[in-house]
Chain A
Amino acid sequence: MSASTVVAARIDSPLAEFWRRFRRKHVALAAGFVLLLIILAAIAAPLIAPYDPSTPDYDNVLSPPTLAHLFGTDSYGRDILSRVIWGGRISLSVGFISVIVGGVVGVALGLLSGFFGGWVDSLIMRGADVLFAFPGLLLALAVVAVLGPGISNVIWATAVFGVPAFARLVRGDTLALKQAVYVQAARSIGVSRLKLVSVHILPGTMPGVIVNASLRLGNNILTAASLSFLGLGAQPPSPEWGAMLADGRSYLGVADWLTLFPGLAIFVVVLAFNVLGDGLRDALSQKLR
Chain B
Amino acid sequence: MLGYFLRRLAGTIPVLIAVSILVFGFVRLLPGDPARLVAGPDASEADVQAVRQDLGLDRPIYWQYAHYVGEIFQGNLGRSSRTRLPVSYEIGQRFMPTLWLTLAAMGWAILAGMGIGVLSGVRRGRWEDQGGMVVAVSGLSFPPFWLGLLLIDLFSVRLGWFPTGGYESPASIVLPSFTLGLAVAAVLARFTRSAFVEVASEDYVRTARAKGLPERRVIWTHTLRNALIPVITMTGLQFGFLLGGAVVVETVFAWPGLGRLLVDSISYRDYPVIQAEILLFSLEFILINLAVDLLYAVVNPEIRLR
Interface string of B262-286 (1 = CB under 8 A from A): 1100110001001000100110011
Instruction: Tell me if B59 counts as interface (CB < 8 A to partner A).
Output: no
Residues of B within 8 A of A249 (CB): 149
**Chain A nearest CB: distance from B257 CB in Å?**
14
Known: A129-B15, A142-B278, A259-B149. A226 touches B143 (CB 8 A): yes
Smallest distance from the beta carbon of A190 to chain B beta carbons, Å?
36
A16 to B87, CA, bound (A): 60
Chain B residue numbers with a CB within 8 Å of A48 are none
* Contact pattern, B 129-158, Cβ under 8 Å of A = 1, otherwise 0: 000000001101111111001101100011
Contact of B15 among A130, A225, A278 (CB under 8 A): A130
- Judged by a CB distance under 8 angstroms, whether A8 is at the interface is no
- The smallest beta-carbon distance between B174 and chain A, in angstroms, is 18
Binary interface encoding of chain A residues 234-272 relative to chain B, with 1 for a CB under 8 A from any of its CBs, else 0: 000000001001000100110010010011001100110
B281, A225: Cβ atoms closer than 8 Å: no
Which chain A positions have C-beta within 8 A of B14? 126
Name the one of A134, A225, A230, A275 contacting B247, with C-beta atoms under 8 angstroms: A230
Q: Is the CB of A135 within 8 A of B278?
A: no
Q: Is the CB of A270 within 8 A of B143?
A: yes
Asked if B153 contacts A142 (CB within 8 A), the reply is no
B19 CB-CB contact with A under 8 Å: yes
Cβ-based interface call for B115 (8 A): no
The minimal Cβ–Cβ distance linking B63 to chain A, given in whole angstroms, is: 23
Tell me how many residue pairs across A and B have CB atoms closer than 8 Å: 119
The CA-CA distance from A221 to B266 in the complex, in Å, is 21
Looking at B48-56, B237-245, B298-306, the stretch in contact with chain A turns out to be B237-245
- A contact residues around B158 at 8 Å (CB): 253
Task: Tell whether, in the assembled complex, residue B30 and residue A267 are in contact, meaning their CB atoms are under 8 Å apart.
Answer: no
A251 to B247, CA, bound (A): 22
Report the contact-size class of chain A (Cβ under 8 Å from the partner).
Answer: 35 or more
Task: Check: A150 CB closer than 8 A to any chain B CB.
Answer: no
Residues on B with beta carbons closer than 8 Å to the beta carbon of A275: 137
0/1 interface trace, chain A 121-141, chain B, CB 8 Å (1 if under):
000001001100111111001
B152 touches A133 (CB 8 A): no
CB nearest to A225 among chain B residues: B143
Q: Is A174 an interface residue (CB 8 A)?
A: no
Mark out the residues of chain A between 96 and 140 whose CB falls within 8 Å of any chain B CB in the assembled complex: 126, 129-130, 133-138
Q: Which residue of A lies closest to B271 (CB)?
A: A145
**CB-contact partner of A142 in B15, B18, B26, B138, under 8 A:** B26
Assembly CA distance A108 to B279 (angstroms): 29
- Chain B residues with CB below 8 A from A231, complex form: 263, 267
Q: Which residue of A lies closest to B25 (CB)?
A: A146
Separation of A134 and B245 alpha carbons in the complex (Å): 13
B29 at the binding interface (Cβ < 8 Å):
yes
* A245 and B146 form a contact (CB under 8 A): yes
Chain B residue at minimum C-beta to C-beta distance from A228:
B145
B273 to chain A, nearest CB (A): 10
Given contacts A133-B19, A134-B281, contact A141 B266 (CB under 8 A): yes
Pair A253/B15 contact, Cβ less than 8 Å: no
Decide yes or no whether A218 CB sits under 8 A from chain B: yes
Q: Which of B226-274 contact A (CB under 8 A)?
A: 240-241, 243-245, 247-248, 251, 262-263, 266-267, 271, 274
In the complex, which of the residues B138, B143, B274, B282 has the most CB atoms of chain A within 10 Å of its own CB atom?
B143
A-B pairs with beta carbons under 8 Å apart, 23 shown: A129-B15, A130-B15, A130-B22, A133-B19, A134-B281, A134-B285, A135-B244, A137-B245, A138-B247, A138-B278, A218-B141, A226-B248, A229-B143, A230-B251, A245-B149, A253-B153, A259-B153, A263-B149, A267-B142, A267-B146, A274-B137, A274-B141, A275-B137
Residues of A within 8 A of B (CB): 126, 129-130, 133-138, 141-142, 144-146, 149, 218, 222, 225-226, 229-232, 242, 245, 249, 252-253, 256, 259, 262-263, 266-267, 270-271, 274-275, 278
Apart from the given pairs A133-B19, A141-B266, A245-B145, 11 other A-B contacts in the complex at a CB distance below 8 Å = A129-B15, A135-B244, A141-B247, A141-B263, A145-B274, A145-B278, A226-B145, A229-B143, A252-B153, A262-B146, A267-B141
